[in-house]
Amino acid sequence: MAELNENNVRAVLDNFRALEERLADPQVSGDTDRLAKLSRERARLEPAAQLASRWLALKKQIAECEEAAETETDPAMKAEFVRELRSLREEYSQVAQKLQYELLPKDAAAGRNVFLEIRAGTGGEEAALFARDLFRMYTRFLDAHGIPYEVQELQDTGLGGIKEVVLLVSGEKAYELLHLEAGTHRVQRVPVTEASGRIHTSAVTVAVIPEADEEEVEINPNDLRIDVFRASGAGGQHVNKTESAVRITHIPTGIVVTCQDEKSQIKNRARAMKVLLARLAEKQRQENQAKYASEKRAQVGSGDRSEKIRTYNFPQNRVTDHRIGYTAHNLDQVLDGRLDELIEALLLAEREAKLRAADFATTG
């Protein structure tokens, strides 16, 4: 791993302090859009700034301790300095590794709100029931972390399962904690209706789509077909009395977004447009992935919905993430929203992969 350059580290702190000064400018605080963008940028840079500050402090402490150890004549004090140096160097190494990761080019979606989309795949009603289980798992995880979310759309099967649910997850940690959940989630269990006790395999797809800024995607109003209709399903008596549900079709791409959870047609339309913008922006990002092949190699999995990323085996109470070879026999806890250990393992693997890729790019 290449040694960090002190001037570059100091530049990280200088940039962060300059950004904080801009945020304190009254003109910025009065501009909602600009304030939101700068606040998001601050959240993105803060971890690196904190690590840079600690790295510089440790570097200074190590130099002082080395000098003291060299000049000390008392054996007991000299031994104490040596022990202190060992501890400082260990922490310095850990901080340097974390800082190097933070200084790698960041995903443009870092810090954004995300749409978490869960859809039943192969397996019929059993897949829909598992989609409901994943919906519960993610919402419990978000609740435990105090991360706000809002159900944008929910289509149930009428038999307890979920065909599709779309959540808007908000906050600086939304993308970081969820982006590696995208892909196919496979479940192996004995359905309640299976008299012979045979294990069935079903699948649910999860998509994690960053919320798009309006300027990211240009939509021609003539490319949209907007239909309104009476909503159905849970939501109160209003759903069958007024044409409040909205379906927007983007004709060039065939992307269709439906929203019916709000009583107001205007609110449903606004929600649907937000989802449409995000899906169009995600489509553009996917089409551009070939341009960033080296970055792609550094990722844990492709994020493709067709990629089988995880298996939930009920008979063995086992969860396995196939991308990093992670296996644990605590499926009951995972489905209760205790995803921290699994997500931390994924983030660590992603960080190590990106550092390896960066070293290869530097030396290769």
Q: What is the 3-state secondary structure (H, E, C) of 256-325?
A: EEEECCCCCHHHHHHHHHHHHHHHHHHHHHHHHHHHHHHHHHCCCCCCCCCCEEEEEECCCCEEEECCCC
Evaluate whether residue 332 is within a structural domain: yes
Asked if residue 313 and residue 202 are part of one domain, the reply reads yes
Q: How confident is the model at residue 152 (pLDDT cuts 50, 70, 90)?
A: confident
**80 lies in some domain:** yes
Last residue of a domain, one of 60, 81, 102: 102
- Please state, rounded to an integer, the average pLDDT across all residues of the chain: 85
Asked which of 287, 310, 325 is the last residue of a domain, the reply is: 287
| Residue 247 bridge partners (DSSP) | 227, 258
Task: Give a yes or no: residue 293 inside a domain.
Answer: no
Q: CA-CA distances (angstroms) from residue 10 to 56, 89, 312?
A: 8, 20, 46
Domain co-membership, 205 together with 306: yes
Residue 1 resides in a domain: no
My answer on whether 210 and 227 are in the same domain is no
What average pLDDT does the segment 259-278 reach?
Answer: 85
Q: Which of 28-37, 229-238, 241-250 has the lowest mean pLDDT?
A: 229-238
Residues 95 and 232 in one domain: no
Same domain, 311 and 186: yes
Q: Is residue 230 part of a domain?
A: yes
User: What is the domain range of residue 255?
Assistant: 219-287
Q: Number of structural domains, the chain? A: 3
Last residue of a domain, one of 48, 76, 102: 102
Q: Are residues 347 and 319 in the same domain?
A: yes
Q: What is the CATH number of the domain that holds 269?
A: 3.30.160.20
Are 141 and 35 members of one domain? no
CB 301 within 8 A of CB 323: yes
* Same-domain pairing of 203 and 320: yes
Q: Tell me if 107 is assigned to some domain.
A: no
Q: 165 and 241: one domain?
A: no
- CB-facing half-sphere around the CA of 62: CA atoms within 13 A: 14
DSSP class of 238:
G
93 and 147 both lie in a single domain: no
* Whether residues 246 and 196 fall in one domain: no
Least confident of 118-122, 154-158, 313-317: 154-158
State the pTM of this model.
0.71
Whether residue 161 has pLDDT greater than 50: yes
H/E segment holding residue 12: helix 6-23
Task: Tell me if 294 is assigned to some domain.
Answer: no
Q: Are residues 198 and 233 in the same domain?
A: no
pLDDT the model gives residue 305: 52
Identify the pLDDT of residue 316: 96
Confidence of residue 238 (pLDDT cuts 50, 70, 90): very low
In a domain, 152, yes or no: yes
Query: What is the pLDDT, as a whole number, of residue 15?
Result: 92
pLDDT reported for residue 310: 97
3-state DSSP assignment of residue 193: coil
